Chain A
Amino acid sequence: MGAEFVQFSLTPILIGVLAAIACALPGNFLILRRQALIGDAISHVVLPGIVVAFLLTGTVAAIPMLIGAAAAAIVAVILIEAVKRLGKIEPGAAMGVVFTTLFAGGVLLLEQSDTSNVHLDVEHALMGNLESLIWFRASGWGSLLDPVALASLPPELGRMAVVCLLIVALTLVFWRWLKIATFDEGFARALGIPASALGFGLVITAAIAAVAAFDAVGSIIVIAMFICPPAAARLMTNRLGAQVWWSVGFAILSAVLGYTLAGYGPLWFGSQNAVSAAGMIAAVSGVILGLASLYGPHRSRVGVGRDDAGA
């Protein structure tokens, strides 16, 4: 639990934790707004985004890929909104139409283009490769103070930290607006709060979180982290502030426990090979949600929902 831990486990765990928090924060509001599945849609369109970025730039450098993915996410969000409004189609179906079409386009482009010799494949996009984000130059905890070693930290860590900080800051700054526009959009508009722009901003923030997390940990974890920690948190408390804290706690727990189980769990069963950390993190978050659904103090519905009240 010394030098080896710092070298092989510290950075993946940190990246996993940051990614989980970055997704869970906007997830709280998405769930309350009945937009939970936007995370699902966004994480699917990341693939066409990076394929197009690769075709345009010819490189697999991280920055163009991230820009491509973010652009695809924004395009998808706009398309979903357009299909919803123009076609008068319910949001779930509109998402289904848009993200599957873009995903299909991405797969087709990938198969058509000559990407066989570069590291760009669908499985990687879906599963990520958290385990490979090791801190090679680290020799122990002392490396945290060694500038040379710090310079060789995986770049994903820095990117994820920046995005996570950005999302924390946005959540803090817009906390009141988000709360009021999520609870009572009509009242928010009457106060002069730009509720539509706020909703769009929330989805874009979610897209940024998804893209940054996808780069480090793959798509599946993104979907799970948007929904499972905030959903479990909703069942633990009846106050929004407390819910957000719970969700952050659950996100951290999922990331740490999931990574540990994936890395060390198979050893306990006598197997030498680790399993997918991203998958395991998603699975752990599912177990947490399951436990919250069974035993959470505020698991059952009390108030009358928007849909039932009108009748």
Chain B
Amino acid sequence: MGPRMTRSAVKIAAEDGQDLRAAMPPPDSPLAMRGMTVSYGEKPAVFSVDATFPARSMSAIIGPNGAGKSTLLKASLGVIPRLSGEVWVFGKPLAQARDRIAYVPQRASVDWDFPTTVIDVVQMGLYRKVGLLGRLKGLMTAQAQACLDRVGMADFAHRQIGQLSGGQQQRVFLARALAQDADLYLLDEPFAGVDAATERAIVDVLKLLKSEGKAVVAVHHDLSTVRDYFNYVFLINVRRIAEGPAQTAFTAENLNATYGGRLSATHISELTLSGGAA
């Protein structure tokens, strides 16, 4: 019985170029991926994920611990290798679009005892532009200083980075991303372990970027702020669970599916309701 039903049920896959093009992501999507699989060892951390993040928006990647949120972000940037899958940035392969991406890695991923100053770190964002030997002109130093100003750290330019608080470190990383002057901003847990003032400052900067027509994609932990900060959500738990505008995709049903019972029903209804009310 099985095989017969199958034959009638499964249509033969595309043979002509038409459908191939149909499967390509829209060219204006700042970040799109197909069939992304990443594994550490013998278990997939991310399995066959398709995603299409929309332009001019703030998108959150949401999921429980170990769901592959950061892994997805890093693999799409080529920071870690992927087992299979394709990535497009503004409709182009990654290698041709690196200049349009800014990246804020997890704060804990670097050695904060490194001998360098705040302004030095921000200028790292300009390295692609100036190349290996090009001189960092006064204009660029001014540019880096302006980026620090945007995150409220102008007075800290010549501090040793080890002397900064966690929130200040995160702001410096954001300033470095701003210095990259990109069209797509990828942030890995930008609000993890930062103080309330820093969180507000970062959100303001990101919202401003969005209003300038840039795209922001952030790995996000705090479900209670999703509705306030983001207008697009991508729910992941190793596999893609759901994606869409926050209004329609950030639902109790999808959260349940993503967190698999790890969130209580009352918690979920609070999250989805309070967001809707606000």
Binding site for B on A (CB under 8 A): 32, 173-177, 179-180, 182-184, 186-187, 189-193, 234, 237-240, 242-243, 301-306, 309-310
Contact = CB atoms under 8 A, between A and B. Distances in A.
B124 A180 contact: yes
Interface of B: 74, 77-79, 95, 98, 101, 103, 105, 107-117, 120-121, 124, 127-128, 130, 132-133, 160-163, 176, 186
A250 B108 CA distance: 32
Contact of B98 (A192, A243, A310): A192
A246 to B, nearest CB: 10
Contact of A302 (B108, B109, B124, B162): B162
A305 B112 contact: yes
A174 B132 contact: yes
Contacts of A242: 115
Nearest to B134: A176
A194 to B, nearest CB: 11
A238 B115 contact: yes
B114 A187 contact: no
Say what secondary structure dominates the interface of chain A: helix
Given A238-B115, A240-B120, 10 more contacts: A176-B132, A187-B103, A191-B103, A191-B127, A238-B116, A239-B116, A302-B163, A303-B161, A305-B111, A306-B108
Contact of B127 (A173, A176, A301): A176
Contacts of A309: 107-108, 112
A303 B132 contact: no
Interface centre among B74, B107, B162 (most CB of A within 10 A): B162
B98 A32 contact: no
A192 B128 contact: yes
Given A180-B124, A182-B114, A310 B162 contact: no
Given A234-B115, A243-B115, A184 B109 contact: yes
Given A191-B128, A238-B160, A304 B113 contact: yes
Contact of A189 (B79, B111, B128, B161): B79
Contacts of B127: 176-177, 180, 191, 193
A74 to B, nearest CB: 24
A129 to B, nearest CB: 36
Contact of B109 (A32, A174, A182, A306): A306
A306 B110 contact: yes
A186 B105 contact: yes
A187 B162 CA distance: 18
A237 B110 contact: no
8 contacts: A173-B132, A175-B132, A180-B127, A189-B78, A189-B79, A190-B105, A302-B113, A302-B162
Nearest to A191: B128
A141 to B, nearest CB: 38
B41 to A, nearest CB: 9
B116 A184 contact: no
A243 B132 CA distance: 20
A240 B116 contact: yes
Contacts of B79: 186, 189-190
A292 B79 CA distance: 37
A305 B113 contact: yes
Interface centre among B101, B113, B117 (most CB of A within 10 A): B113
Contacts of A302: 113, 160, 162-163
A190 B186 CA distance: 10
Contacts of A237: 115
Contact of A184 (B77, B105, B132, B163): B105
A187 B105 contact: yes
A174 B132 CA distance: 6
A27 to B, nearest CB: 14
B111 A191 contact: no
A214 B108 CA distance: 39
A177 B105 contact: no
Contacts of A191: 98, 103, 127-128
Contact of A187 (B78, B112, B124): B124
A183 B111 CA distance: 7
Contacts of B105: 184, 186-187, 190
B112 A304 contact: yes
A305 B111 CA distance: 5
Nearest to B107: A309
A192 B129 CA distance: 12
A256 to B, nearest CB: 26
Contacts of A180: 124, 127
Contacts of B115: 32, 234, 237-240, 242-243
A22 B229 CA distance: 52
Nearest to B74: A186
A173 B110 contact: no
Contacts of A234: 115
A305 B105 CA distance: 16
B103 A190 contact: yes
A109 B225 CA distance: 68
A30 to B, nearest CB: 14
A306 B108 CA distance: 6
B160 A310 contact: no
A175 B134 CA distance: 12
B106 to A, nearest CB: 8
Contacts of B110: 183-184, 306
Contacts of A193: 127
Contacts of A239: 115-117, 120
Contacts of B116: 179, 183, 238-240
